[in-house]
Chains A and B, each alone.
Chain A
Amino acid sequence: MSSLQYLLAEIQNLKPIPAVAHQLLEIVDNPGSSMEDLANVIQYDPVMTANVLRTCNSVYFGLKHPAECIKDAVNMLGTDQVIELVLLKSGAASFSGSQEGYGLEEGEMWRYSVSSAVIAKQMAVKLGLANKNTIFTASLVKDIGKIILEKYVARSRHKILALVEKENLSFREAEKKVLGIDHAELGAMIAKTWKFSPKMVKIIRHHHLADETMIKDKEVAIVYLADCICMMIGIGVGSDGLAYRFRDMTLRELGLNADDMALMIAEYGANMQEIENLLNIV
């Protein structure tokens, strides 16, 4: 079997993101859907329901009366908070381990995924994009390819890093050259296997803007930029370092400038505690 075939076999063994996340995404970014639709989707998954209720009733939220069903939770915490909890809980199992191939210790990848998702969602809200929850989720799971690829990266790390240093390739480009596939491409294949929407597959596939024409796609651009901001702040940066390509055109396409980028960094700095809290409750 070639390494690529091994990789494909591994996709089948990966524990998929719970189905409730997909169903939720189908309705949440649809302006016609109601709170009831939302509650119905979550209730269909008893494990997720119990999980969400346990978190809602944790000390963190300080509810006066415990939420006994998802409808209670939505009423007390608001739709957005409940959606976010379900999506976070859906991703937690896949991302919380260590990825030694990328030099990431336990929890680092998860902190990075959550941080970039929060930043991307804020950006989507600021820019008035309707599908903020899709953007949040895409950002949360965009590096799913790393979960499988890390073992292969570990074995070829010296070769990959040599290409980055000597031939000025980005880490992703070097990954592709040495392994025949990069983590964004592999991530898109996983997303397809998991029956993610074509939009989500596209965002994952292009989150490093390997194809520059994708800059025009606002959802891709936001997820890409949130990733760059995380790198600058030093979140989730492993042995790949900051060796990815920066495209300042992305900002221009979104109608933003360098000051806006700095402001987003400052915003993160001011709200770090909220992200820590989020990480603690999920």
Chain B
Amino acid sequence: MKQIVGVADMKVSNNPAESVITYSLGSCIGLVVYDPAVRVGGMLHYMLPESSIDREKAVARPFMFADTGIPILFKSAYQLGAVKSRIRIYVAGGAEILDQKGFFNIGKRNYMALKKMFFKNNVIIHKQDVGGNTNRTVRLEIGTGDIYVKTSGAGEVKI
């Protein structure tokens, strides 16, 4: 079965028969967490770095922003039995348009927001496929923890 994570959305699962997938990340980030010991995994698809830009929307749609979405993803995984020290992390997306510099570079800012939070909380990224100008789709198999990335116009590749 396929659990689809929409834009500004999050899903966690401990059903080994399930696949969690998010499509077409663009400058958004797809954050995958997985604890192999209990086979619990989750995925967040956020659009923007900081919720301070629109608090009201952050309350209604916390998964739209890195700072409000990431903590909920971790907590939801913990609730299914995942443990922080065992969690493996994969990050994809954060692509940029050519010449998109500085504060205009939403993809890079999305990635930096995550790095900042991870640094503060002693979280290490195990693998990543971020930046550049390609559009990515990410899939996690809950049973195995295998992660697949597909870029538009090309095949799916196991990470």
Using a CB–CB cutoff of 8 Å, the interface residues on chain A facing chain B are 102-104, 157, 164, 168, 170, 228, 231-235, 237-239, 241-248, 251, 258-259, 261-263, 265-266, 269-270, 272
Contacts and interface: CB of A to CB of B under 8 A. Distances in A.
Interface of B: 6-8, 23-28, 47-48, 53-54, 57, 60-61, 64, 95-104, 106-107, 132-135, 151-154
B61 A246 contact: no
Contacts of B152: 103-104, 237-239, 241
A248 B105 CA distance: 10
A84 B79 CA distance: 46
Contacts, number: 115
Contact of B26 (A103, A242, A261): A242
Given A266-B47, A269-B64, A242 B27 contact: yes
A149 to B, nearest CB: 15
A247 B153 CA distance: 26
B27 A232 contact: yes
Contacts of A265: 47-48, 106
The list of the 8 closest CB pairs from A to B, nearest first, reads A239-B153, A234-B26, A103-B153, A234-B24, A246-B100, A237-B135, A232-B27, A246-B97
Contacts of A237: 24, 26, 135, 152
Contact of A242 (B6, B54, B60, B135): B135
Contacts of B48: 262, 265-266, 269
Given A103-B152, A263-B54, A266-B64, A241 B133 contact: yes
15 contacts: A103-B153, A164-B133, A231-B97, A232-B27, A234-B25, A237-B135, A237-B152, A238-B152, A244-B97, A246-B97, A247-B99, A258-B104, A259-B53, A266-B54, A272-B8
A170 B24 contact: no
B53 A266 contact: yes
B107 A232 contact: yes
A258 B135 CA distance: 22
Contacts of A103: 152-154
A2 B114 CA distance: 51
A242 B27 CA distance: 9
Contacts of A157: 153
